Amino acid sequence: MNSPLAKILTQYEKKRDKAFKEFLSRKENIYKKLPRIREIDEEISSIGLEKINEAFHLPEKCDDILDELKTVLMRLKQEKEAILKSQGLPLDYLRIHYECEDCQDTGYINGSMCHCLKQNLIGALYDLSHLKNILKYENFENFDLSLYSDLPFGDYPRSPRKNMENIYLECIKFSNNFPDVNESLFFYGNSGLGKTFLSHCIAKDLIDKGHTVIYQTVPNLIEILRKTALGEANEEAELINECDFLILDDLGTESATAYSEQVIFNIINTRLLSGKKMLISTNFNLEELMNTYPERICSRIFGNFRIYAFYGDDIRLKKVKVI
């Protein structure tokens, strides 16, 4: 089997092996350095058996024996922790350190896919390896409001900076409250105003919190779907509907066909029906949007998305000037 899922599961197996080997070597070193720890570990494993055996033969004293066992185990654990602490070591030093503690790097929790496995699968299917690097920089911490002018702009009541400050705070609120949010998000405005950047900020924050996120530009997504629609396995298409948060960037840059329009409608409609939120961004203004897409798409956007206008001078030019 060479499916993306099978490949990832092989990586998970390697991760578990590595975590286990590292744990063994930590343990070996500690046993050499601090023999009392080995004694404690041996006592812990032998006393459990001993007491269970005792309880089995004296069922009427079972509760007392188990209480006693608990007390001894607690004492041993405390002694071990005190030794580790005296050596400046973390209390979990002698446990296996998994990359994902939720599923212990198995990828599954009670038979269902863990968020880490879903996100890895999304990464493989949507080629998100490049996004990982982008997210190291494009996140809420690095969001720079000073790139936006605080002078009045056109007829807008607020300066671009004041406007962005509001959008930025709203996005943080959205991310903090996710998934208990009422509306999806819609960003529109000229290019170079931070729409993609801000959508990356939300993506990073939600992924870090264990949500599954797909980021794609509309043309790429349509291309991916066109390809997979021809094959049989359709994990890709399923994940678009299933992921916790979907970002569709650059709406309007796809070549407009009946197929692309149907795909866009289906995605928006399916997520609306299942109550799952998404973010759409576009360089179109609202008039262009309405001239390009049919009423069934526009009405869904206007009725269910929180709409944010991005305006100001192209940030790319400013950044170049600074350098």
Ligand X SMILES: Nc1ncnc2c1ncn2[C@@H]1O[C@H](COP(=O)(O)OP(=O)(O)O)[C@@H](O)[C@H]1O
Which residues of the chain form contacts with Zn ion (CB under 5 A)?
A: 100, 102-103, 114, 116
| Helix intervals (H) in the chain | 4-33, 35-57, 62-86, 115-125, 129-137, 160-177, 195-208, 218-230, 235-242, 258-274, 286-292, 295-304, 315-322
Smallest CA-to-CA distance from 130 within 245, 216, 211 is with 216
Q: Binding partner of residue 147 among Mg ion, ligand X, Zn ion, none, CB under 5 to 8 Å per kind?
A: ligand X
11 binds ligand X, rule: CB under 6 A: no
Question: Which residue from 195, 204, 211, 277 is in contact with ligand X, where contact means CB under 6 A?
Answer: 195
Contact region for ligand X (CB under 6 A) — 99-107, 143-151, 213-221, 299-307? 143-151
Quick one: 10 or 191, whose CB is closer to ligand X?
191
Report the nearest approach of Mg ion to the CB of residue 250 (Å): 6
Contacted by 316, from Zn ion, Mg ion, ligand X, none: CB < 5 to 8 Å by type: ligand X
The site that binds Mg ion (CB under 5 A) totals a number of residues, namely 2
- From the list ligand X, Mg ion, Zn ion, none, which binds 116 (C-beta under 5 to 8 Å, kind-based)? Zn ion
Peptide bond into 152 cis (omega under 30): no
Q: Does 119 bind Mg ion (CB under 5 A)?
A: no
**Token pair of 12 as six digits:** 């998970």
Q: Which of 120, 184, 196, 212 binds Mg ion (CB under 5 A)?
A: 196
**Binding piece for ligand X, criterion CB under 6 A, among 19-27, 83-91, 194-202, 289-297:** 194-202
Contact 51, 66 (CB under 8 A): yes
Determine the Cα–Cα distance for residues 220 and 227; give it in Å rounded to an integer: 11
Question: Is residue 199 at the binding interface for Mg ion, with CB under 5 A as the rule?
Answer: no
For residue 246, the SS3 value is: strand
Q: How many angstroms separate the first and last alpha carbons of the chain?
A: 49
Name which of 70 and 316 has its Cβ closer to ligand X.
316
From CA 26, how far away is CA 78, in angstroms rounded?
19
**From 184, 196, 212, 216, residue interacting with ligand X (rule: CB under 6 A):** 196
* Window 301 to 320, contacts with ligand X (CB under 6 A): 315-316, 319
- CA distances to 90, 299, 309 from 142, in Å: 31, 35, 21
Q: How far is the CB of 195 from ligand X (least distance, A)?
A: 3
Q: What are the start-end ranges of the H helices in 87-159? A: 115-125, 129-137
Interface contacts to ligand X, rule CB under 6 A: 138, 143-144, 147, 191-197, 315-316, 319
